[in-house]
Amino acid sequence: MKLEHIIDNNQSLAELELIWKTTKKIENLYYFEERGRKWLKEILKGKRIICLFNQPSTRTRLKFSFAGKVLGADVDVIDQISSTSIEKGEDWYNTLRTFSEKEINILTIRHPQNYIPRYLATLCKKYKFRVKIINGGDGNHLHPTQAIGDLYTIKEHFKERFGKDPLKIAIGADPKNARTLHSLVILLAKFPVQLTIISWPELRMPRKYLQGFINQNKKIREIGGFPQGEKFDVIYWVRYQIEYEQKRNYQKEYNQKFKITPELLDTFLEKDGIFLHPGPRTEEVDTRIDSDPRVKDGEQMRNGDFTTMALYTLMLNPVRIPKPSEL
């Protein structure tokens, strides 16, 4: 199976299984002596990836570029669209045509405008450009590769429980604007979970992202704070997305009301549960929680590197990946 553009989270269960299996195999080789990494470096030899970032990023930019380099691709990072010829009036059609003629295989893009990656993928299909598009976050819409990595982290942690025994998952606290939460709930709807969304009514998650839950008559609980006497398997938290709510700036109140502290985790997170955060972390997280082994956002970041390697592989060269013992 070869994957096409990654612009949303409409991946089927079979595709997710394949992405995760490929991730595991790549991870096993990466951590297996020098021979493993040498083998991986052949997968995208001669392929070209451009990472175009028109919004700030630390993790995603590093992830897209690191994943490509591990697999042997040539990776270019363009930090601002204003440094391309789009600034001189070139449109997306001509920009993509240029990338296609120059044999760019993948364009990863982060953009403040919703649906730009979808528009680019449509142009590529219409004009048969060879470039494949990956959405690295579009406005306050989606962040598909983040969610694929996040769900891999959840699946790896809960192993045999995942997909069978419904996990109790609490997400918050800006479901209105956090694209990571939108992508995550679209994927979570495909699995047995009990979802609790914690936020203010003003920051309610738009219904379109919950359609998977709604279509299956799966219950979603939306409340204003952690419910007394309950514990969760996963707490997934985000910062206040100030860039999308400048007129109604609740940041200070948000960081007080929804701050994640060691006391909060002790009260509401199961002993074998995990705390995840896609980053960037700001004042909504008390850094004292970092000594708690249940805080897994570091693992979450590293997993994102490997799920991205799996996506690149399945998009460009879906070869059979050997076990370390076969090298």
Residues that bind ligand CP (CB under 6 A): 57-60, 137, 143, 146, 278-280
Q: H helices within 205-261, ranges in order?
A: 211-215, 251-257
Nearer to ligand CP, 43 or 301 (CB): 301
Q: Report in angstroms how near the CB of residue 278 gets to ligand CP at its nearest.
A: 4
Q: Return the number of the residue (19 or 40) whose C-beta is nearest ligand CP.
A: 19
Under DSSP, is residue 249 helix (H, G, I), strand (E, B) or coil? Answer: coil
d(CA 104, CA 74): 9
In the complex, least distance from residue 103 CB atom to ligand CP, rounded to whole angstroms: 27
In whole angstroms, how close is the CB of 285 to ligand CP at the nearest point? 14
Q: What are phi and psi of 134, to 5 degrees?
A: -120, 130
Phi, psi of 106 (to 5 degrees): -135, 135
Q: Which is nearer to ligand CP, 68 or 278 (CB)?
A: 278
Cβ 282 to ligand CP, closest distance in Å?
12
Q: Angle, to 10 degrees, between the axis of helix 297-316 and the axis of helix 13-30?
A: 110
Please give the C-alpha separations between residue 19 and each of 13, 129, 311, in angstroms, as whole numbers. Answer: 10, 24, 7
Considering the complex, state which of residue 71 and residue 142 has its C-beta at the smaller distance from ligand CP. 142
Token pair of 149, please?
Answer: 């990595």
Q: How far is the CB of 23 from ligand CP (least distance, A)?
A: 17
| Minimum CB distance to ligand CP smaller for 143 or for 155 | 143
* Measured distance CA(327)–CA(49) in Å, rounded: 27
Compute the least distance from the CB of residue 260 to ligand CP, in Å: 16
* Token pair belonging to 137: 């976050």
Given the complex with ligand CP, which of 114 and 267 has the nearer CB atom? 114
